[in-house]
Amino acid sequence: MFEKNADTATAINRLLARRWSGRAYDRDRGVARNDLVALAEAARWAPSCYGDQPWRFLFWDRNRDEGAWRRAFECLGELNQRWAERAPVLAAVCSDQRFTSNDKPNRWGAYDSGAAAMSLCVQATELGLMVHQMGGFDAERLRAAFSIPDRYAPMAMMTIGYQVDQGAVPADLAGRELAPRQRRPLDESFFDGGWGIPLRR
Ligand SMILES: Cc1cc2nc3c(=O)[nH]c(=O)nc-3n(C[C@H](O)[C@H](O)[C@H](O)COP(=O)(O)O)c2cc1C
């Protein structure tokens, strides 16, 4: 399997280093039901403000319901569709915009839902699966297609499946697929004691 481990300043958890958003999915290898449940469990145990658990995840398994998978797929942006069509499972993360307990606006909902999504990604890496999150989708179309209630904001969609060799990616997307993963230097985003003061060893 093609690996794109993160280049880190010091050793980090191997799953965090190994997780990456590839696009080459094995069209013929579905995701076992129990593995999908494990992804959901990992997300379920994420932390959240007041323990409110604002996230809602919708999964579409092509091998169980091709029609529903297709309706979800059609909500993706065109560029995403070009590679996502090989993914056996699609998912969407929605976030409750209000607290369940008191119906007041929850300004941490998106934050918590992102944490749950990341837990899912890490669990997927542990299981040898690859998840690619996407903001490029039509949220209102998704809402209409699957009757998502107004109070839940569709945050992201994702592809889930097994990686296959890079030849599966359309040629014009291969450059991005093979390029080294990059991040801003540590000291540009992580501060120590005051804004802009770089965190150093
Ligand atoms: C909220 C969100 C939206 C994203 N939207 C897209 C997208 O529409 N299409 C895409 O190809 N990748 C998308 N990505 C993937 C990012 O481009 C990717 O995570 C980033 O380049 C870092 O690469 P890595 O995940 O391999 O470390 C998205 C990621 C996140 C978290």
If one residue of 23, 81, 120, 134 were mutated to test the ligand 1 pocket, choosing by the most ligand atoms within 8 A of its CB, it would be: 134
pLDDT of residue 139: 98
Confidence tier at 1 by pLDDT (50, 70, 90)? low
Is the CATH number 3.40.50.300 carried by domain 14-164?
Answer: no
Does any ligand 1 atom lie closer than 6 A to the CB of residue 20?
yes
Question: From ligand 1's centre to the CA of 20, what distance in Å?
Answer: 9
Give the start-to-end residue ranges of the domains of the chain: 14-164
Give the predicted TM-score (pTM) of the model. Answer: 0.97
Ligand 1 nearest-atom number relative to CA 23: 11
Check if the beta carbon of residue 83 is closer than 8 Å to that of residue 130.
no
| Ligand 1 centroid – CA 142 distance (Å) | 19
Q: Is the pLDDT of residue 3 over 90?
A: no
136 lines ligand 1 (CB under 6 A): yes
Tens of pLDDT, residue by residue over 145-178, are 999 999 999 999 999 999 998 778 888 888 888 8
Q: What is the pLDDT of residue 127?
A: 98
